[in-house]
């Protein structure tokens, strides 16, 4: 995570990434110089928004304190990465008509038979 944390890089970016192999998967999300990681426990879909709710499994040191100092949350228990760094605020769940809801529903319905062609 050195490049994300290095203030001298000269760029900022908010995005989501799935990092996976045959054994495990993670979602990495960035917001400016801040980052958070969540282990995928079952199925996961990402789209054009931040999706990690709460504190994640790993995060850049100081992110929660930064959010408290900026008034984005009250304390450690109130920290919600996606809600804090999203504008406008994201819903708790997405409509099946939207890309997020559509892909997540498709993954749930086809849990045992997911193929690249199914997802195209």
pLDDT in tens, 76-85: 999 999 999 9
pLDDT at 8 exceeding the cut of 70: no
Residue with token string 């804090």: 84
C-alpha 114 chain-centroid distance: 22
φ, ψ for residue 65, nearest 5 deg:
-60, -40
Instruction: Name the residue with higher pLDDT: 110 or 35.
Output: 35
Query: Domain ranges in the chain?
Result: 2-91
Predicted model pTM: 0.78
Least Cα distance to 66 among 15, 108, 31 occurs for 31
pLDDT at 2 exceeding the cut of 50: no
């Amino acid at each position: 995570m050195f490049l994300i944390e290095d203030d001298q890089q000269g760029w900022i970016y908010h995005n989501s990434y799935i990092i996976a192999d045959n054994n495990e998967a993670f979602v990495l999300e960035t917001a400016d110089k801040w980052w958070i990681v969540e282990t995928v426990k079952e199925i996961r879909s990402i789209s054009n928004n931040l999706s990690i709710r709460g504190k994640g499994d790993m995060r850049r040191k100081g992110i929660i304190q930064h959010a408290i100092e900026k008034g984005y949350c009250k304390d450690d228990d109130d920290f919600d990465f996606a809600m804090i760094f999203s504008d406008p605020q994201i819903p708790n769940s997405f409509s099946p008509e939207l890309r997020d809801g559509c892909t997540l529903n498709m993954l749930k319905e086809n849990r045992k038979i997911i193929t690249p062609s199914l997802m195209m």
